[in-house]
Amino acid sequence: MDSASSSARTVAACVIGGIVLGASVVALHLGAGPAAPSLPPVEALRRRFRRRHRPVRVYMDGCFDMMHYGHCNALRQARALGDELVVGVVSDDEITANKGPPVTPLHERMKMVRAVKWVDDVIPDAPYAITEDFMNKLFNEYNIDYIIHGDDPCLLPDGTDAYALAKKAGRYKQIKRTEGVSTTDIVGRMLLCFSHGHGQNIDDSGFGNGTKISHFLPTSRRIVQFSNGRGPGPDSRVVYIDGAFDLFHAGHVEILRLARGLGDFLLVGIHTDQTISSTRGPHRPIMNLHERSLSVLACRYVDEVIIGAPWHISKDMFVTCELGLSLGKLGPLIYIC
C-alpha cells in the first residue's frame, strides 16, 4: 500500500514538472522576440579572465617643455600606479593656445619623454584638455584604465578643470607634485643668472649661496627611487662618459644613447657645480649637482652615475669604479671624451 502511494506521488510530480517546463517554453516562444545572443559560458569566462589579468595601463599627459627631474618624478609616480605607462605629449598648437608658445618643439619633447625609463608608450599631439572623444579613445583603443595628473590644479582658459570628464567617469588618479622645480622656475633662474652676470656663488654643498635660486632638497630616498639598483656583470663592457648635463636636453639624450650602444653598462660622471663654474663661467650651472644627477639617472640609457665626478680621469677613479660597481674586476672600460 505504501509502495503504491509513493509511486503515485512520483508520477504526479513528474507530470506537474513537465507541465511547468512546457509552459515556460511556450512563454519564451510567445515573448517579445528572440532572446539576445549571449557568449558561450567558456568564452565569457575566458574574456573575463583576460580582462582581470591583463596589465593595468595608466595614462598621463603634459607639455614636458624644458623637461626636468620634476617631470621625471611625476612619470615615475604615475608608472607606480599601474603596469604600463602611456604618455601623451601635448602639441605645440595646443600649448600656444592655452599657455603660450613652448620653448622646445614637439619632436624634441617627444624624444625627451621616450627616453625616460618609466615610459612604455608615447602619444604625440595629445589635447591639452581631456575631451570625451579623446577619453573614449584612450579607454577603447589604448586600453587605458586610469588617467593620472598631479595634485596641482590644471585649469583651461575658461576656468574649467581639464580633467573633469575623467574624474566624473571614476577613472582619475592623482599624484603629488614635485616641489622646488618647474619650467617657469628654470626660466627664472636663467634670466636671473644671465642678467646679473655673476650668477651663483657656489659653496661646498653644491648649492648657490649668492642668488639662492635652487630650492631642491636632495634626499637619499629620492636618489634611490631614481636608481636602477643593479651593477654590471663580471665581464661587462663598461662605457664611461662625463659632463655637466646642465639643462638636460635632447642632445644629451642622443649622446647617451650612442654611448650606451658601445657597451653593456653606461656609467655617467656628473661634474660638480664648482668645476662647471670654473670652466664655463660663474653664471653656470643653472641646475645644481643633485638636480642634474636625477635628470641623468631618469634616462633609460644610463645604468649608474658618479655624483661629483672629477674633471681629470685618474687611476684611483677606475679602482673606485671597480670596487663600487662590482665585487670582481670589470671588463673593458671605454672612456668617451
Residue 31 has pLDDT above 80, yes or no: no
Q: What is the pLDDT of residue 324?
A: 56
Which of 211-225, 229-243, 294-308 is the most confident on average? 294-308
Residue with cell 649622446: 255
Q: What is the pLDDT of residue 146?
A: 97
Q: What is the pLDDT of residue 35?
A: 43
Q: Which three cell numbers stand for residue 32?
A: 517579445
* Cα 69 from Cα 97, distance rounded (Å): 25
Q: How confident is the model at residue 332 (pLDDT cuts 50, 70, 90)?
A: low
Residue 326 burial by Cβ neighbours in a 10 Å radius (0-12, 13-18, 19+): middle
Looking at residue 194, its amino acid is: F
Residue 290 has pLDDT above 70, yes or no: yes
> What is the average pLDDT across 308-331?
66
Pick from 4-13, 166-175, 225-234: least confident: 4-13
* Residue 152 vs residue 200, higher pLDDT: 152
Pick from 27-31, 154-158, 312-316: least confident: 27-31
Q: What is the pLDDT of residue 335?
A: 63
3-state class (DSSP) for residue 333: strand
Average of per-residue pLDDT values in the chain: 80
Task: Work out the percent of the chain whose per-residue pLDDT is above 70.
Answer: 71
Dmax (CA) of the chain = 118
Element (DSSP H or E) covering residue 256:
helix 250-260
Q: What is the pLDDT of residue 7?
A: 53
Looking at residue 170, its amino acid is: G
Domains of the chain: 57-175 (3.40.50.620), 223-336 (3.40.50.620)
- Specify the pairing of strand 238-243 against strand 172-175: unpaired
> What is the average pLDDT across 290-317?
90
Spell out a b/e string for 159-186, using b for 16 or more CB atoms within 10 Å of the CB, else e.
eebbbebbeeeebbbebebbeebbbebb
Q: How confident is the model at residue 27 (pLDDT cuts 50, 70, 90)?
A: very low
- Residue 93, sorted as left (phi over 0), alpha (psi -120 to 50) or beta, turns out to be alpha
Spell out a b/e string for 270-284, using b for 16 or more CB atoms within 10 Å of the CB, else e.
bbbbebbbeeeeebb
Q: Which three cell numbers stand for residue 20?
A: 511547468
Q: How confident is the model at residue 304 (pLDDT cuts 50, 70, 90)?
A: very high
Phi, psi of 55 (to 5 degrees): -60, 145
Q: Which three cell numbers stand for residue 183?
A: 619650467
Q: Can you give the C-alpha Rg of the chain in angstroms? A: 30
- Other CB atoms closer than 10 Å to residue 210's CB: what's the count? 14
Residue with cell 650651472: 285
- Per the document, the length of the chain is 337
* Cα 218 from Cα 207, distance rounded (Å): 11
Q: How confident is the model at residue 213 (pLDDT cuts 50, 70, 90)?
A: low
pLDDT tens digit sequence for 42-62: 554 555 555 567 899 999 999
Pick from 122-126, 173-177, 193-197: least confident: 193-197
C-alpha pair distances (Å), 217 with each of 177, 199, 200, 203, 207: 14, 20, 17, 15, 10
- Other CB atoms closer than 10 Å to residue 76's CB: what's the count? 21
Spell out a b/e string for 83-92, using b for 16 or more CB atoms within 10 Å of the CB, else e.
ebbbbbbbbb
Check if the beta carbon of residue 146 is closer than 8 Å to that of residue 173.
yes
Residue 16 has pLDDT above 60, yes or no: no
* Cα 24 from Cα 284, distance rounded (Å): 85
Residue 334 has pLDDT above 70, yes or no: no
pLDDT tens digit sequence for 74-132: 999 999 999 999 999 999 999 999 889 999 999 999 999 999 999 999 999 999 989 99
* Cα 210 from Cα 203, distance rounded (Å): 9
